[in-house]
Structure 1
Amino acid sequence: MLEVGLNNYRMRQLNKELIMSLVWRHKVLTKSHISRLTNLTIPAVTNILDELLEEKLICHSQQNLSSRGVGSGSYSLPNTLPMTLCLNVAPTKIESQLVDFQLNPVGELQIKTIEAKTPAELLNSIMKLFNGYKAKHARNEIQLAIALHGQVDPEAGVSQNMPQAPWKEHVEVKYLLEEKLNCNVMIDNDCIMLALAEKWLGTNEKKDFCVINVDYGIGSSFIINGSVYRGSLYGSGQIGHTIVNPDGMACSCGRYGCLETVASLNAIKKKVRTWLKTHADVTPDVIEGFNTEQLITLWREREPTVYKLVEDGANAIGLSLYNFLNILNINQIWFYGRSCQFGQQWLDTIIHNVVINPFDPANSIKKNATQIEFGQLTRQQQLMGIAYLYVEESLSEFRF
């Protein structure tokens, strides 16, 4: 017999999850504030808070947040929770940001250049970085939250494919680091990091949205009904491997004509280097050293060849995104990545290919029409998003 509706226990668990998510988001809350945000009565809120206090998931302070009236103190996360070291890891660079038990930043974002030629060298760089933070905060427990480029199995803690890496084998990142460092480790894709950052630190209140990262490659991540959608094989969001030209260039995935071969920074720079070889006055060193900053400069100067390559890429992104929108009907899109430096004209080209979405309201002025914008979170905030893997895990425990 199928269970219908919600019994009292399940409803109570959902309300506990709701209140805990508010505490994680707002850091410190009063009972009356929780009541207003949840539309629960004060007695109902009191009972749930008492349970959360008994379970040591929150703590209570007699300090009132308002001088008006007689308050009942405030509620926050216990300071016994560990700090989290947030890492964004690639074979050539590791970005790091430490956060405290409430996921507030501790210190500044750090960037370390590395040259990892093997998985062991990459793991050694991570361990060395972790031990440096641990030495500075010896009295605190520190856990790791790691964002990795490419396809990741977050359940097994395995990096399945890292496009920039010289190796092709799977790497058991979670198991190996937990064994060596004796700390908790969670890993996921770098686009999941951006999606979680938008969900928890952004101003967007929609439960359905998408983030797209256009950089070395092109990745995306979806938040559907407030939850990250990964797919059963953790391959959701591989917009960069949608085929836009079956007769196009070979892609690293083994197929031909993927979006990444047309619109990623890596692909465009390769094509520009090929074009530069036709110029007798351009030396091999200049061609080899051609970088993203030079590409963007040529774009802004409207150099014809570069301008067309970037425009073609933007058009291809827009058409691919149009197809995604028709399938999922998500109408809030945030763009991140170094390609955002191409500016508003680049974004407008993408938008032009999306506004014909037949599922948008006829009047595009309506607030529910598709919104495609540059993400506004700082790089520090983006990196902090990966720490919310632990928050999402803790909240999921209320659903069983």
Structure 2
Amino acid sequence: MSDNLHRSHKLASPPRVKRRKLRVRGTDVTLLEEVRRAAMADLGIDLEFESLDFLTCQHRAAMDPGGYDIYEQCFHNLDIVWYWGALQPIDTERIAEWGNIGDLAIEGGLTRYTWEGHGDAPRRKLYVQPDGMIGPQPMRHISMLPTAHNVDSFGFDRRLFGEEEAGGASWAWLLDPRARGRIALVDEPAIGLFDAALAAEARGDLTFGDIGNMTVEEIDNLMILLESLRQSGLFHGAWVTPQEAEDMLHNDRVSVQSMWSPSYANLGLMEGVFVESTPREGYRAWHGGASLARHLSGAQLDLAYDYLNWWLTGPAGAMMARQGYYMTVPERVRKYLSEDEWDYWYGGEPARTDLPGRPGRITVRKGQRRAGGSYRERVSRIALWNTVMDEYNYATRVWKRFIARVNGGVT
């Protein structure tokens, strides 16, 4: 009997401790593998990332709130998800760095006196109001924790357009006949439609009472103009993912197109030829963040707050910086960047050395300077934010029909 007891003791193994897990639904803007690995290591948890395109992510976040714990997207995608009751308020008293979040998210600009731009500036959707809706009146509870953000423009071929003038390039170049047949737009109605609107206004074709909240008539006038330009052969196509934009560029099919920051690190043979613009009319900006699913409670809610707080501690912000994005608590990010990286990405200074991007890759070559300059210079020139307008459903329908024709589809 003693031998059997001894064998049982030897065969027994300690109980396995199941690691806690969070499910994050978002886009490839922030759901990077290196972010996932760093967060798992720092928090001692498992993370499941579900990366979707913008419209699919927004739709699934609204209609399937039980399928995720954290929703990561942008403030302009928030209204619909909040309206369907998929999210719960975030208590700012549980956010350790709340008092250090930059004024761009809280005030709408670098100071409360800075013009915040048209459209969905994060401040306008940040706070949970007494009636449960979201709005600008400061409250203890917020709808989304502001995290990564940036200002976007377009890229252009210097061989065709030459060098930018002292005041920068013009959004009009995005609809310039010199690039006929070699122009691409981004297929996202809350983004690409506004790139086209900024270009149309810069060309003098149209004016808008409020470009961030167009009327049906203004949307129709814009689509009539774009369809006329399409029939003249102006456009090459439209893209959904940054990879599609890069493929058009690598295959020498475009001379000017909407483009996002990480793609300028993937220019290949077009490096030094295709460059990021500094639009003199101002940038189109976006602000990302993270929200809590409505079903979270107890220990799982505590874990979700740990994850939200981790985003503001610095490591994630450094990874975002190497993508060309900014973070709402920059001083925490600074500790995780080299001095050369900080001076380039945030300071706008020429790179003193080659700088890394995603693991194993060089993003910036020695001597390069970031288009538009420093963080302060860039975000002080916001004309418009990515936006879901009052007439969003109508704008989406007509935009999708137009893009189908641009890409050679059947209307």
TM-score range, shorter-chain basis?
A: under 0.3
TM-score by length of structure 2 reads 0.27
